[in-house]
Amino acid sequence: MGKTVNKQRPVNLDLSTIRFPVTAIASILHRVSGVITFVALGILLWLLGLSLSSPEGFNQAAAIMGSFFVKFILWAILTALAYHIVGGIRHLLADFGFMEETMVAGKRSAVASFIIAAILSILAGVLVW
């Protein structure tokens, strides 16, 4: 007649106990970095327009860029852009068949993308400061 239901299953799912694989974390971070890059594009275009509007606008943009908080935001934007580019290249390499389609290769490429993005993030920090 009907299926029997296992009474031992959890009633409430505890999200703090779920462990995502490294490939899932890489995929989620790639999407988040894409959103950050998209939003940052508007901010950076506004700042570029301000700096090109007049000599006073350039001085105002230079004064804005002198703040530690703005430098930190610029570093975060560059870090997100670097990770998004590295993740995109990782996906392209997989799509074109240059990487094996195995879980081991996926894990290795995800860890490699984290390491490369961390190095690029440090370089972005040196560039900004």
- Residue-wise pLDDT for 32-89, tens only, equals 999 999 999 999 999 999 999 999 999 999 999 999 999 999 999 999 999 999 999 9
Task: Confirm whether 4 is domain-assigned.
Answer: no
Domain residue limits at 124 = 22-128
Whole-angstrom Cα distance, residue 41 to residue 119? 23
pLDDT value of residue 15: 74
Indicate the number of domains in the chain.
1
| CA-to-CA separations, 27 to 22, 70, 79, 111, 120, in angstroms, rounded | 9, 28, 16, 12, 18
Whole-angstrom Cα distance, residue 71 to residue 63? 11
Give the residue numbers of the binding site for heme: 84
Whole-angstrom Cα distance, residue 72 to residue 104? 35
Task: Confirm whether 73 is domain-assigned.
Answer: yes
For residue 84, what is the domain's CATH number? 1.20.1300.10
Give the residue numbers of the binding site: 84
Residues 6+ apart with CB under 8 A from 1: none
